[in-house]
Structure 1
Amino acid sequence: MPHIDYYFATLSPYTYMVGGRFEEVAAKHGATITYKPLDIMGLFGRTGGTPPPQRHPNRQEWRLQEMRRTAKKLDMPINLKPAHWPTNPAPSSYAIIAAQETGGDVAGLVQSFTRACWAEERDIAEDDVVREILARHGFDPAIADSGLLSGAEQYGRNLEDAVAAGVFGAPTFITDTDERFWGQDKIEDLDLYLSGKL
Structure 2
Amino acid sequence: MAHIDYFFSTLSPYAYLAGKRLEELTRRHGAKITYKPFDIMSLFPRTGGAPVPQRHASRVEYRAQELPRQARKVGLTLNMKPKYWPVNAAPSSYAIIAAQNAGGGDVGALVHGLLRASWGEERDISDEGVIRASLTEAGFDPSLADSGLLVGAETYAANLEEAVAQGVFGSPFYVVDSGQKFWGQDRLDDLDLHLAGKL
Q: Which residue of structure 1 aligns with residue 187 of structure 2?
A: 186
Q: Which residue of structure 1 aligns with residue 143 of structure 2?
A: 142
CA distance in 2, matches of 1:138, 1:53: 36
CA distance in 2, matches of 1:128, 1:58: 38
Q: Which residue of structure 2 aligns with residue 97 of structure 1?
A: 97
The letter for the 2-side match of 1:34 is: T
Q: Which residue of structure 1 aligns with residue 155 of structure 2?
A: 154
CA distance in 1, matches of 2:143, 2:162: 27
1:1-16 alignment runs, 5 A limit: 1-16=1-16
CA distance in 1, matches of 2:159, 2:35: 9
CA distance in 1, matches of 2:172, 2:68: 18
* TM-score for the superposition, normalised by structure 2: 0.98
CA distance in 1, matches of 2:130, 2:45: 28
RMSD in angstroms over aligned alpha carbons? 0.7
Aligned residues with identical type, % of pairs: 60
* Cα displacement (A) at 1:56: 1.7
* Number of residue-to-residue matches in the alignment: 198
The letter for the 2-side match of 1:123 is: D
Post-superposition, which runs of at least 4 consecutive aligned residues in structure 1 deviate over 3 A? none
SS at match of 2:69: helix
* Cα displacement (A) at 1:196: 1.0
After superposition, the C-alpha distances for 1:104-128 in whole angstroms (9 at most, x for unaligned) are: 2000000000000001000100111
* Cα displacement (A) at 1:59: 1.2
SS at match of 1:78: coil
CA distance in 1, matches of 2:76, 2:20: 12
Q: Which residue of structure 2 aligns with residue 31 of structure 1?
A: 31
After superposition, the C-alpha distances for 1:18-55 in whole angstroms (9 at most, x for unaligned) are: 10111111111100110000111111111010111111
After superposition, the C-alpha distances for 1:43-88 in whole angstroms (9 at most, x for unaligned) are: 1111010111111222111101100111011111000011111111
